[in-house]
Amino acid sequence: MKVAVVGATGMVGEVMLKVLEERNFPFTELMLVASEKSIGKTIGFKGKDYKVIGLEEAVSKKPDIALFSAGGGTSLDWAPKFAEVGTTVIDNSSAWRMDQTKKLVVPEINAAQLTKDDKIIANPNCSTIQMVMVLAPLHKKYKIKRIVVSTYQSITGTGLKAVKQLENELAGVKGEMAYHYPIHKNAIPHCDVFEENGYTKEEMKLVRETQKILNDKTIAVTATAVRIPTSGGHSEAVNIEFENDFDVNEIRQILSNTEGVIVQDNLDVNVYPMPIYANGKDDVFVGRIRRDGSQPNSLNLWIVSDNLRKGAATNTIQIAEYLIANKLV
């Protein structure tokens, strides 16, 4: 089992290596791949030093699986080249998510769709993953009509440049800006670029990807995505309107029995999800579960997850684990 990590020097790449180690992922050969400026650098993994190689060399070595987290442009250019030599690519960028010929996978929800013929598999957006992990079992039971979601997203979702911006601002140092405005003591309602409809790409990912993963284009979704100066995970306030009525205790029971979801919802002792506690964990946390009294068959939830783990690296690796367990690679 030859495994390549493409984008190994980036934030998600570093977390991928951590998750591969924690989960004792099976491989006989590991290739750490990055852009030309990183070729030759050394990265330690499980007590061994690995030299970073370039994309061409990685393709020539024909890995069985390539875990991509190197940006959409790199994925569009290189994922097909890996696929041509028989590699199964699991891609973290937005490049392939809405391609009708590619599967968009959250293993707990729709990994069963995968076959040996799927050589490029898309990993959903971080904010989508945590939301659909909670929505999927509820959709199955009550059928979702409409979702209104507001996100409160960590700076880590933007990358190292944003982390450095906040560090500089905290230290009172002028430096390179990842955002148009200061992020310290601020909330910026602008994640990714604006589309012609006035929504950002991040907001439209929540619309399009949710419908694709849940395989239901009738679900109406509207989103507002906000960047806030936190690390550790993204948070989401989600309002759901169902076709059928529900019992709130039954909702809690369904979610408590959902793999990968942890209910934190005890108001008597102020227990609810927060990014400070989701940090470094692979689960999706849900709380503040309550009926929306202003609208029939409607529910409010608060969902938090580590965007670099379940929102990116862990989900990618779980897809790879599923492929290996089911002999699809």
Is 81 buried (19+), middle (13-18) or exposed (0-12) by CB count in 10 A? middle
Measured distance CA(147)–CA(142) in Å, rounded: 13
- Rounded distance, CA 323 to CA 179, Å? 38
Q: 288: buried, middle or exposed (CB in 10 Å: 19+, 13-18, 0-12)?
A: middle
| Whole-angstrom distance, CA of residue 171 vs CA of residue 45 | 32
Point out the residues that are catalytic. Answer: 126, 234
Residue 128 · residue 213 · CB < 8 Å: yes
CB 112 within 8 A of CB 138: no
The CA distance from 79 to 8, in Å, is: 15
Question: What angle separates helix 201-213 from helix 126-142, to the nearest 10 degrees?
Answer: 40
Question: Could you tell me if 17 and 76 are in contact, meaning their C-beta atoms sit under 8 angstroms apart?
Answer: no
Direct distance between the N- and C-terminal alpha carbons of the chain, in angstroms, rounded to an integer:
9
Decide if 118 contacts 88 (C-beta within 8 A): yes
Residue tagged 């070595």 (tokens): 61
Taking the C-alpha atoms of residue 141 and residue 137, their distance in angstroms, rounded to an integer, is 6
Signed CA dihedral, 217, 219, 223, 229: sign only: negative
